[in-house]
Amino acid sequence: MPDPLALVPLPQSVVWSDGTWETSAPWEGLSVGLNDALPATEYALSISPTGAALSAGSEAALADGRNTFAQIVTGTNGSIPCVTISDRPKHAWRGMHLDVSRHFLPPAEIETLIDAMALHRLNVLHLHLTDDQGWRIEIKGYPRLTEVGAWREQSLVGHMGEDEESWTFDGVPHGGSYTQEELAGLVEYARRRGIMIVPEVDLPGHMQAAISAYPELGNFPEQQLGVREVWGISDHVLGVSDTVFDFLRDVLTQVADLFPAPYVHIGGDECPRAEWERSPAARSRMNEWGLTRVSEIQGRFTQFAADVLAEKGKRVIAWDEVLESHLPDDTVIMNWRHGNGVKDSTSRGFRTIIANNEHTYFDHYQASPKDEPLAIGGLTTVKDVYTAKFSPHKLSEDQQTLIMGIQGQLWTEYMPTAEQVQYMAFPRMCALAERAWGSPEQSWEEFEERLRAHLPRLDAFGIRYRPLD
């Protein structure tokens, strides 16, 4: 029979049957239970005229099943079509990244995004909590990180042209931060919906906000910086003193205690070496460490963070630049720069998450810039996401098994409000979720039609999105 309801992501097996379940309280009529006979990642959902039953091989799979049920009941009005669904994800990591540094997003808005992620059976929220333009997480013992580092005096207006003379600013202070209690609340909110929050503390670059709060964290402590007001990459990176490593130990320890996820993301992207080249202190540290190349300093940071986190039973995730210097074998690589990187990191034996800026950067325009709100650049349509070839090279079976999953990115330089974040996320996130889930392959035309029928659910959740063409 034709599909009475559109489901996104499409489950692995969906068999609709005649009849409906008439109910005004579907959640009360859903029976739920673990079933040891099912594989850990699998759930089975059946709806008959007399009720609904969900069973699964694990709590995580139960959450997936509940989230599919949520789609079904959000798409119906008291009359639910009968169906038998058997389903499991292809990838363990089905992620969305959210940059709350470039623009602060209140916890309630993060919860709305978590609701929408759950609806699409995404299971990881990667929170980018620190950057040059704002430090957003309370760290006990370092009050200035949020008193000073969470606020910038103003923000660049429009694109960041080459010519500094052309830059204009809004003159409006921007900032905000999360207490540890608020973050613990978000962790629990997400957990109840089947989502793990993975925190990122970006190091040793992207640290200007922290260095503004505590100049002794920089390479030139006599220099008082401000929290960065323009985008792009700051030259101001962490220094190499004992003070800096003590700071990192404190930060990573508190972060590890706050977030139960088995991973902490330590950034590692875009770390200019100019300050280390100029700093006598960095030179003498290199001698002490027996390093000959300045680029190897970053490897020291990666290893230090990994050691601190290992004591807490956690593993490091980092952006793919960390492959250029020393790193522990169990580092998980988040590939962002080029599709070729997936082959490089997996051929070296590293577990890898696909997050490439060709297909998964939702700060890019989603249609012609002349018809769209200002974005950072690029063009990534929802069709591009749905049809993406995530690795341009064929991977061996061993390499395939190292792919943990796929993640979309929301860098928020040009997303000052929750509405704008939603507009940029949707509907591309729906296509990403379908790819990360590994739904049976369909034509773009089939997906587009199913997505069109699915979008009213986003309306029901109060989510803004770019309409389909």
Catalytic site includes residue 311? no
Cβ proximity to ligand ACM, 235 vs 269, nearer residue:
269
Nearest distance from C-beta of residue 262 to ligand ACM, angstroms: 21
Q: Which residue is nearest to ligand ACM (CB)?
A: 269
* Helical (H) or strand (E) element with 107: helix 107-119
Residue 401: φ, ψ to 5°: -70, -15
- CA angle, corner 55, sides to 52 and 57, nearest 5? 165
Residues 235-294 that bind ligand ACM (CB under 6 A): 269-270
Give yes or no for residue 115 binding ligand ACM (CB under 6 A): no
Q: How far apart are CA 174 and CA 433, in angstroms?
A: 32
Please state the closest distance from residue 87 (CB atom) to ligand ACM, in A.
32
Instruction: Determine, following the binding rule CB under 6 A, whether residue 336 of this chain makes contact with ligand ACM.
Output: yes
User: Quick check: 319 binds ligand ACM (CB under 6 A)?
Assistant: yes
Distance CA 187, CA 182 (A): 9
Residue 136 C-beta: closest distance to ligand ACM, Å: 17
Instruction: Quote the tokens at residue 38.
Output: 């099912």
Question: DSSP states of 286-323 as a string?
Answer: HHHHT---TTHHHHHHHHHHHHHHHHTT-EEEEEGGGG
Q: Which of the residues 75 through 114 are near ligand ACM (CB under 6 A)?
A: none
Q: Which is nearer to ligand ACM, 250 or 270 (CB)?
A: 270
Count Cβ neighbours within 10 Å for each residue of 234-268 and write b for 16 or more, e otherwise.
Answer: bebbbbbbeebbebbeebbebbbebbebebbbbbb
Which of 109, 182, 229, 270 is catalytic? The answer is: 270
For residue 376, the minimal CB distance to ligand ACM (Å) is 10
Minimum CB distance to ligand ACM smaller for 275 or for 363: 363
CA end-to-end span of the chain, whole Å?
28
CB closer to ligand ACM out of 92 and 233: 233
Residue pair 196/119 in contact by the 8 Å Cβ criterion: no
In whole angstroms, give the CA distance from residue 89 to residue 99: 26
Number of residues that bind ligand ACM (CB under 6 A): 4
According to DSSP, the β-strands at 151-152 and 332-335 are unpaired
d(Cα 177, Cα 187) in Å, to the nearest integer? 16
Rounded to a whole number of angstroms, the minimum distance from the CB of residue 387 to ligand ACM is 22
Given the complex with ligand ACM, which of 269 and 344 has the nearer CB atom? 269
Nearer to ligand ACM by Cβ, of 142 and 319: the residue is 319
**CB-based burial, 425-454: b 16+ in 10 Å, e otherwise:** bbbbbbbbbbbbbbbeeeeeeebbebbeeb
Based on the shown chain and the rule CB under 6 A, indicate whether residue 43 belongs to the binding site for ligand ACM.
Answer: no
Strand 43-48 relative to strand 364-365: parallel, antiparallel, unpaired?
Answer: unpaired
Least separation in angstroms between CB 319 and ligand ACM: 5
Q: Active-site positions? A: 270
Residues that bind ligand ACM (CB under 6 A): 269-270, 319, 336
